[in-house]
Chain A
Amino acid sequence: MKNEFQVIADLIEKDKKVLDVGCADGTLMKFLKDNKNINIRGLEISKERVQECISKGLTVIEGNAEKDLKQFPDKSFDYVILSQTLQAFLNPELVLDELLRVGKKAIVTIPNFGYWKVRFHLLFKGTMPITKTLPDEWYNTPNLHMCTIKDFFHFVKSKDIKIFKSLALNNLNKSTINESNLGVKNLFADLGIFLIEK
């Protein structure tokens, strides 16, 4: 399983109720269900991925986070997970608000556009960056609203959202992000993982 998923799984206690928004083929859901007895649901837009989840015995709803999160009552999940998808929505702010309404806490991960390889690519090659976490070309990327760890950090603060944990991930290295090391982490992490609450 991806290192990112391991970090997310470590943030969630056993026996909780969790919604994985954009759960893809259900890899993380299956892990949480099997290893932490998590009561887990998924929301996924792709019919093919939904079928894969069903074949793994996972409870998944075909739907679009921008429209379909509203059917869940306030704070109906202990955690809501959004992995590397926030930047792909037309209105990320609305989705973030919905995650925090539906979940007592939310775990949001961000592919970091401030990562040095991304900056390096744009600076020296002069073309849109392609990295491990940003694998697509500019013309076929699903990403509409790229941001950096620093952008997200400031955005969340400006919305009075509480940050319980913010972690920087670079391959296998996990470290904590805070106000004082934000600049450095924004340069050396390719992924940011945030545990937040409103």
Chain B
Amino acid sequence: MNTEKNIKTLIVKKPLKLDCGKTIKDFPIAYETYGSLNSKKDNAILVFHALTGDQYVSGINPATNKEGWWSYAVGPDKAIDTNKYFVICSNVIGGCMGSYGPSHKDPDQKIFGTNFPVITINDMVNAQYNLLDHFGIDKLFSITGGSMGGMQVLQFISNFPDKSKTVIPIATTSSHSAQNIAFNELGRQAITADSNWKDGNYTSNETNPGKGLAVARMAAHITYLSKKGLQEKFGRKLQEREDLKFGFDADFQIESYLRYQGSVFVDRFDANSYLYITRAMDYFDLAKQFNGNLSEAFKNTNAKFFIISFTSDWLYPTQENKDIVIALNSIGADVGFVEIESDKGHDSFLLDVPDFLSALKNFLDKSYEEN
């Protein structure tokens, strides 16, 4: 799972008090950077990854040997142009790509498993804030991310209101909905129902709860796509066969596709991390942190916001993104908003959606010119 030798890691010495009450210190944050930091140190963009993402935003991910998760958006001459900007992304705590998480060992050299403290989106961004000190960056040019990455964007600017000039939450929400929690619970139940899970005490030498994790991934994957997108891509097409087989093998291409998505996911992701990160998402309710008034979360920032949603995203629908716009407008913040036409569902932000990529590029480049 981990290709630990190639992972850039920052050891955070400073103690971090978590929302659950526990304190962690001397913990690792695995990160990757793209492009170079200029002498004024004013061209840095902190990218936050989504549930199953990692620090490998662009180029080849050394753990999977596949393209980084945001290769369409980040790279030389891309929307987030690494010829111009210095992009930093780190693996969230609770994750499994080198940052402190449930597959790490506790002080007694025992793998944490579910003894790892439950973490929140707030804990994740507080941990990542240490990267600014590490690189000597006083103020980021931008922070951005989609889905859970967008939640971190919102939490980050709320916690550190003067630490970014621009703020780009994408396809996200300020409060995880009942439907979002329900889907996450489905995934967690699939994992914990796998007999190999063993209350989280599996080790990488033993068999992992791979079947449960694969089912979790399959269910979640459906929520990332739209009905129209699925229908157009797969319809009722059969998988390498002329006719139905009257059995439970994968007759349909969509079945085969989901099974494949499940199986490749198991090779790169830790089941306990999946539990921890989905929990962090479910606990996310930024308005609640401010007595139900979301606007209060942003009242101390002068940052320029640009919020993007997608027409076919039913997991984090336009209205939930617009609620953030409304909260910002009600305090007179500088906020732009666009809903991008796409039938690729929630995953639109990860894919080649030209209107999205050009909006992102134009916003960043024009804002940078005004610097």
Which of A's residues lie within 8 Å of B, judged by CB? 17, 41, 47, 50-51, 54-63, 71-73, 76
Contact = CB atoms under 8 A, between A and B. Distances in A.
Contacts of B329: 61, 71-73
A41 B337 CA distance: 11
For the complex of A and B, list the 3 residue pairs with the smallest distance between their C-beta atoms, beginning with the closest.
A57-B366, A71-B326, A55-B362
A61 B362 contact: no
A51 B358 contact: yes
29 contacts: A47-B339, A47-B340, A47-B355, A51-B338, A51-B355, A51-B359, A54-B306, A54-B336, A54-B338, A54-B362, A54-B363, A54-B366, A55-B358, A55-B362, A56-B366, A57-B362, A57-B369, A59-B304, A60-B338, A61-B325, A61-B329, A61-B335, A61-B337, A62-B338, A71-B325, A71-B326, A71-B330, A73-B330, A73-B332
Q: Quick one: which of B329, B366, B370 has the most chain A CB within 10 A? A: B329
B367 interface: yes
Nearest to B369: A57
A54 B359 contact: yes
B334 interface: yes
A63 to B, nearest CB: 7
Contacts of B358: 51, 55
A41 B259 CA distance: 47
Interface of B: 304, 306, 325-326, 329-330, 332, 334-341, 355, 358-359, 362-363, 366-367, 369-370
Contacts of A71: 325-326, 329-330
Chain B's interface: helix, strand, loop or mixed, by majority?
Answer: mixed
Nearest to B309: A62
Nearest to A17: B332
Q: Quick one: which of A47, A62, A72 has the most chain B CB within 10 A? A: A62
B338 A59 contact: no
A13 B340 CA distance: 35
A50 B338 CA distance: 7
B110 to A, nearest CB: 52
B369 A61 contact: no
A71 B367 CA distance: 25
Contacts of B332: 17, 73, 76
A57 B341 CA distance: 21
A72 B355 CA distance: 27
Contacts of B340: 47
A104 to B, nearest CB: 13
Contacts of B367: 57
A47 B310 CA distance: 12
A41 B333 CA distance: 10
Given A60-B336, A62-B339, 18 more contacts: A47-B339, A54-B306, A54-B338, A54-B359, A55-B358, A56-B366, A57-B366, A57-B369, A59-B334, A60-B337, A61-B335, A61-B337, A62-B338, A63-B337, A71-B326, A71-B329, A73-B332, A76-B332
